Structure 1
Amino acid sequence: MKIRFQADNDLHEDILRSTKRLRSEIDFQRAPELGLHTGVADLEVLRLCAEQDRMLITHDRHTMPGHFIEFIKHQDSPGIFIVSRRLSIGKAAEWLALYWEASEAEEYKNQIVSVP
């Protein structure tokens, strides 16, 4: 099964748009479509992503990894990609499109991946 992406509230919107421009068939949902906004707790974000079988795409290197480790102690997760803020929008989109093209969702179950 192909990866289904879920943008975190902190993800730069242009990364989502650029990724979709590269590969329009990528299923990449915006944060508001899942009810994500400032103030939604990380564990709730992870729960919502797991319910919809969507990999979370975030910039949050500070709090999300710790919450993710706690989350997977009790429940499986499709995984998370942490996109470096130092990457250009174009490079981030290229990396996400490459991951989507070259792999399957099951490969990232309960995994944290840094992009790049």
Structure 2
Amino acid sequence: MLSLLSDENFNGDIVRGLFLRDPSLDLIRVQDIGLRTVDDAEILAWAAVNERILLTHDRATMPDFAYARLTKAEPMAGMFVVNDRMPMRQAIDELLLLIDYSDQAEWKDIVLYLPL
């Protein structure tokens, strides 16, 4: 199972839907760990140290911060950029597919855009 971190603006309905489908899900929100007001670079640094793949809708800036980390040879656990116009059921289904059928190490240093 993957270890995930959702950023501040990630759709809460998707998070709730993921937990409804898989109550044992290893997902925490930045709001739950006191990172709500920190910048994107700090969130990515925390995710890297704690080996959590970041869930985000932020296609505009978050991937740039991820690529900057990679350019500086800094670790990154991975990032799933979920299109915010994607139907909620499809987003949940695709995320659960990734969670259930892949390993954490597969996503190291990878930025994946959903839909698949």
Q: TM-score, normalised by structure 1?
A: 0.92
Deviation of 1:34 (Å)? 2.5
What is the SS of the residue equivalent to 2:95?
helix
Identity of aligned residues (%): 30
Amino acid at match of 2:10: L
Partner of 1:25: 24
What is the SS of the residue equivalent to 2:73?
coil
Residue 57 of structure 2, aligned match among 54, 59, 73: 59
Distance in 1 (CA, whole Å) between partners of 2:49 and 2:39 is 16
Q: TM-score, normalised by structure 2?
A: 0.92
Amino acid at match of 2:49: E
Structure 2 unmatched runs, 5+: none
Q: How does 1:1-116 map to 2 (within 5 A)?
A: 2-37=1-36, 39-72=37-70, 73-116=72-115
Deviations 1:29-79 (A, max 9, x none): 122123232x42111010111121110000000001111111122311110
Q: What is the alpha-carbon root mean square deviation over aligned residues?
A: 1.1
Amino acid at match of 1:47: A
Deviation of 1:20 (Å)? 1.1
Amino acid at match of 1:10: N
The number of residues matched between the two structures is 114
Moved over 2 A (4+): none
Structure 1 unmatched runs, 5+: none
